[in-house]
Amino acid sequence: MNFPQALREGRTRRRLSQLDLALRAGTTQRHVSFLESGRSDPGRTMVIRLAESLQLPLRERNTLLAAAGYAPAYPRTALTAVALAPVTAALEHILVSHQPYPAIIIDRYGALVAGNAAYSLLTDGAAAGLCGPGTNVYRLALHPAGLAPRIANFAEWARHVIEALHAELIRNPDDQLADLYAELERYVPDEPPGPGHLGFAVPLQLRTDGGEARLITTLTSFATATDVTISELKLEAFLPADAATAEILRQRAAS
pLDDT tens-digit profile of 103-145? Answer: 999 999 999 999 999 999 999 999 999 999 999 999 999 999 9
For the chain, how are helix, strand and coil distributed in percent, rounded to 5?
50, 15, 35
pLDDT of residue 237: 96
Q: Is residue 181 assigned to a domain?
A: yes
59 and 121 belong to one structural domain: no
Whether residue 190 is contained in a domain is answered as: yes
Residue 125 inside a domain? The answer is yes
Q: Which of 67, 61, 69, 88 is nearest to 77 (CA)?
A: 88
For residue 225, the model assigns a pLDDT of 87
Q: Is residue 61 domain-shared with residue 90, that is, in the same domain? A: no
Per-residue pLDDT at 184: 96
Count, residues in the chain: 255
User: For the chain, how many structural domains are there in total?
Assistant: 2
Which one of 22, 44, 67 terminates a domain? Answer: 67
Residue 45: predicted pLDDT? 96
What's the pLDDT score for residue 189? 87
114 and 55 within one domain: no
Which value, in Å, is the radius of gyration of the alpha carbons in the chain? 21
150 and 120 fall within a common domain: yes
pTM (2 decimals)?
Answer: 0.86
Same domain assignment for residues 9 and 113: no
Residues 128 and 207 occupy one common structural domain: yes
Same domain, 94 and 59: no
19: domain CATH number is 1.10.260.40
Asked, for residue 247, whether it belongs to a domain, the answer is yes
Is the domain of 60 the same as that of 110?
Answer: no
Is 201 found in the same domain as 151?
A: yes
146 belongs to a structural domain = yes
Label residues 226-245 b or e (16+ Cβ within 10 Å = b).
ebbbbbbbebbbbbbbeeeb
Among 27, 42, 67, residue at a domain's last position: 67
Question: Is 135 within a domain?
Answer: yes
Phi then psi for residue 206, to 5 deg, are -115, 125
Where are the extended beta strands (E) located within the chain? Answer: 103-106, 112-115, 204-208, 211-221, 234-240
Q: Which residues contact 27 (CB under 8 A, 6 or more apart)?
A: 46, 49
In a domain, 52, yes or no: yes
Instruction: Please give the pLDDT value at position 192.
Output: 65
Query: Residue 240: which CATH number?
Result: 3.30.450.180
Q: Are residues 162 and 220 in the same domain?
A: yes
In-domain check, residue 187? yes
**How high is the pLDDT of residue 178?**
95
State the residue range of the domain holding 59.
3-67
Looking at the structure, do residues 135 and 35 belong to the same domain, yes or no?
no
Per-residue pLDDT of the chain (255 residues; tens, 9 = 90+): 899 999 999 999 999 999 999 999 999 999 999 999 999 999 999 999 999 999 999 999 999 999 999 999 999 999 999 999 999 999 999 999 999 999 999 999 999 999 999 999 999 999 999 999 999 999 999 999 999 999 999 998 998 899 999 998 988 889 999 999 999 999 998 876 665 555 555 789 999 999 999 999 998 988 788 999 999 999 999 999 999 999 999 999 998
Is residue 54 domain-shared with residue 89, that is, in the same domain? no
Q: What angle separates helix 44-53 from helix 3-13, to the nearest 10 degrees? A: 20
